């Protein structure tokens, strides 16, 4: 190979390595088109006098409210409190949902014992747990974290159970034919087969954790984004309410993206490269 061909090959490899990064950036920008476009349209409509921005403030007022909350230190305090509650509730919910899902998936008797009860409890609205948890645990952090954990546990349980039950029996038989031990069968066959659906269950559980934290922070909280919502409603501050909702959306999206990024190395064996498909389309 000549020097010119070698340089061309290296340049081609570098270009192909950069292409997925550029494709990912295009996807991020494409995802921002809808919310940014809607915000700009609403801002223009309010400024033109076509609609009133009193009950639904324009983005400029919301940004000013966020800036004032950040300047006073209130925003950081409330975000930190909410993040801590979601993290604790998510961890407890994942642990409980995973253990129950594995038990129900591994044993038909255990599934017959616990699944009907869990399915019935899953149908109970989140707000119905609030008075009971207040009576049991008080109005402090324990009741709030427990409520979030309950919301997280059910989708984790369903996802884990469904993933285990959907494992192809033929794959297990192949592993046994190669005389794999139970540990090798679990780590080399069952775990990779279960992981994709389990990651989806984690994302669903995280989303419900952010939903349940609002109900949790209605339970006499003095700090947190849910408290900002209540405070804005009681004092007639629509800009503060919408600002808190925006922060909820941003934090929810960021934590979901972190979860996807953390689980990506475990799913590299999957033959579903959406970034490559997007690159080919681009």
pLDDT class of 33 with cuts at 50, 70, 90: confident
Report the mean per-residue pLDDT for the chain. 83
The fraction of the chain above a pLDDT of 70, given in percent, is 86
Enclosing H/E stretch for 39: helix 3-47
Neighbouring CB atoms inside 10 A of 253's CB total: 12
pTM for the complete prediction? 0.81
Structural domains in the chain? 59-281 (1.10.3720.10)
Burial 218-243 (b: 16+ CB within 10 A, else e): bbebeebbbbbbbbbeeeebbbbbbb
What's the pLDDT score for residue 7?
Answer: 36
Q: What's the rounded Cα separation, in Å, for the pair 100 and 160? A: 9
Structure confidence by residue, pLDDT tens digits, 164-212 = 888 877 777 777 777 777 777 777 777 788 889 999 999 999 999 999 9
DSSP state for residue 221 in the 8-state scheme: -
């Amino acid at each position: 190979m000549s020097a010119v061909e070698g340089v061309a090959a290296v340049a081609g490899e570098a270009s192909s390595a950069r292409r997925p990064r550029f494709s990912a950036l295009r996807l991020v920008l494409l995802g921002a088109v809808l919310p940014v476009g809607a915000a700009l349209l609403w801002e223009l409509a309010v400024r033109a006098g076509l609609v009133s921005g009193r009950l639904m403030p324009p983005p400029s007022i919301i940004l000013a409210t966020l800036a004032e909350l950040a300047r006073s230190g209130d925003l950081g305090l409330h975000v930190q409190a909410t993040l801590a509650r979601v993290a604790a509730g998510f961890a407890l919910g994942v642990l409980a949902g995973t253990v129950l899902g594995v038990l129900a998936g591994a044993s038909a008797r255990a599934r017959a014992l616990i699944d009907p009860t869990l399915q019935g409890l899953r149908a109970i609205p989140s707000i119905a747990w609030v008075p009971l948890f207040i009576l049991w645990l008080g109005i402090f952090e324990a009741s709030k974290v427990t409520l979030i954990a309950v919301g997280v546990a059910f989708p984790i349980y369903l996802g884990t159970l469904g993933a285990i039950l959907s494992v192809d029996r033929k794959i297990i038989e192949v592993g046994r034919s190669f005389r794999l031990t139970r540990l090798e069968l679990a780590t080399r066959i069952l775990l990779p087969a279960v992981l994709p659906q389990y990651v989806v269950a984690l994302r669903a559980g995280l989303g419900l954790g952010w939903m349940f934290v609002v109900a949790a922070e209605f339970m006499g909280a003095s700090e947190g984004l849910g408290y900002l919502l209540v405070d804005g409603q009681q004092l007639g501050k629509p800009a503060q309410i919408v600002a808190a909702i925006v922060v909820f959306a941003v934090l929810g999206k960021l934590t979901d993206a972190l979860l996807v990024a953390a689980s990506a190395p475990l799913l590299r064996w999957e033959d579903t490269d959406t970034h490559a498909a997007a690159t080919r389309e681009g």
